[in-house]
Structure 1
Amino acid sequence: MNDTNKLSIDDLRIPLKPYAKHELRRAVWQIVDTYVPYFGLWGLLIYLLKNAAPFFVIFPLIILAALFLVRIFIIFHDCTHGSFFASRRANTILGYVSGFLTFTPFTYWQHNHLVHHGTYANLDKRGVGDLWTLTVKEYRELAPAQRLAYRLYRNPIIFLGIGPGYTFLITQRFLHKWEGIHERLSAMVTNVAIVMIVAIASLTIGIKSYLMIQIPIMLIAGAVGVWLFYIQHQFEGVYWAHQDEWDPAMAAMNGSSYYKLPKVFQWFTCSIGLHHVHHVLPRIPNYRLQECYDSSPEMQKVQALSFFKSLKSLKLNLWDENQQKLVSFASLNS
């Protein structure tokens, strides 16, 4: 764990502020090298389906398109922070368009995500924009049926297999009365846009072809996205604390991971693995995260989390307040 006790969140942010500047050229190029290939892959997949291409030809392209959709979602994420463009209107427009493609209402998700930024790693403010995480004490106090529900929720088959489809295809379609008018409106606009896309697809390529492409792309991209979100705040050595002890500097540096991926996957994920940098200063555009990290000795103090080491996090399901760490279900019997 990196020791940031002597530094406040403002101390950490000061040297990073030069990187919280938008670059129109880089932003535009990122749109070109992301959205153009994504739509190009859609065109190629439609052609291959119409010509009865074999599965082993189509499926790798589905995976590639899903990776581009992950990249689109992270650009969408930047727009929610107002960090992609200098213009608030431009961020909102691109955010909505990206939301149509990822089936995610822009303002609705923006609200929940900003709440997440103010509450992550805080044991007293769990529940908005994060994964369901219980303490050992809370888990032991549950009824057997509730324990089973929690175990199922934390099962990788559920939260990486069924969960993404349920979230992106179903739950984000509904308007919740407890949300504000702007959040509900964004959900309504996104739903209308999705209906229009499906209608146009039905009249052109056919609903069957559309679903054969859209559904697997969404499920694969959703699984990758949920995994990234999971590993950003659920890993061995992660920091959590109650409100009276919660420190934003510790939360940013020790409650968020530095997920070091191979360069090709870092490109597809827009360097979001540098998540501790993002949480220190969310206004840094994704296309400047790496250079920010490279220039900051303080950011480099965080230990990198490799892909293979990150897989161990799948067994960490509960926060043990006595040991101040995440533990497995199996550890309860030891």
Structure 2
Amino acid sequence: MKIQNIFNEKIRNLFTDENSSTAIEGFEYKENNYGDKELYIFNKNETFLEWDMNLIPDDPGYSKEHNPPILHSKFPMIDVYDELTFSHLLYTINSVTVNVVPNYFTRINVFMKQYCFFQFSQISNYNTFDSAEHSSLRDLFWFYFLYTHPVNETTLYSCHFDLGKLVYTDKNIFVRDYFNSYYDFFIDNYNEYENKLDVSPTEILACKELTNELLTVFEGNAIKLNYPGESKAVFYVNNISSFLRDYQENKHAIFNLFTDLAKGINNKYDDFLFSVILQNYVCYILRKNFSEIEYLSDFLFSKEDDAISSLIINKIFSDTIFCKRFAATQNINIKNFKYVVCHFDEESKRINL
């Protein structure tokens, strides 16, 4: 299975209005009951995300009686609370394949979750980061991937990375080992659970393989994912190293690109790529030195185009909550950047002031 093929189909379904279904690696994207585009097992009314919904354990906090964890013989150290957290982790990681239709209340979460997932592929293929910088970015994107799903607090802080491997902290279990054992359990014991499943052992195996590929992205061992297209915007989105190098060599060239992109939004994909580039500026530049925003502020002021300035500034400050976090961690008062704040719309004010 090739994760890039799944990713390409995800992007095609996210940014086109086509309703045609294309088989890809044993799956296909179709609209679910909520209007979202979801990855279904090919030719079945069962999804990659929820094939095991009838098997997920009850929350022990709301159940008087509960069975021991199904994997207790393999992992005798886990209890029912650990089992539930692993279930949440598996669901959250697999859910990155779903194209959720955002609304006003979910738009930031939907964008940030997609953005964070893609950045794992980028940072693992950018060799000029030192180990501390790589770890810092990886932990940042992992936290906000979970946070914007959103998960509960237990799941949010349940894991850490150890030498590139995702580890369930409390019981020191490699997440990949648990997930593989989980899928294998239902393949090996299929006859016992067949009446609760609408998938075959072969299809469970395909789900296992896809989960492993998704986990490989998070753990930094996957090939670099790429968004489709030939534009300068696509090039920079797919090559963070080139974006950072060119920014250091000629900030104004990058700022001119920002203004060109702001003037050239013709469709949802253009707008999305513009948002990604601006958040790359936030996460890779302002995260290290928030005062770099002054160079952009001065540049926009010199252009005397309030509409373009407002569009760029508000996308930077209200497409995500990254700016709010980075300003806070650097003890920066955003109000001190007068030319920035004067362009804030109500949403940017709500988030940042």
TM-score, length-normalised on structure 2? 0.29
Choose between structure 1 and 2: higher helix proportion: 1
Q: Whose radius of gyration is greater, 1 or 2?
A: 2
Give the alignment's TM-score, normalised by structure 1. 0.30
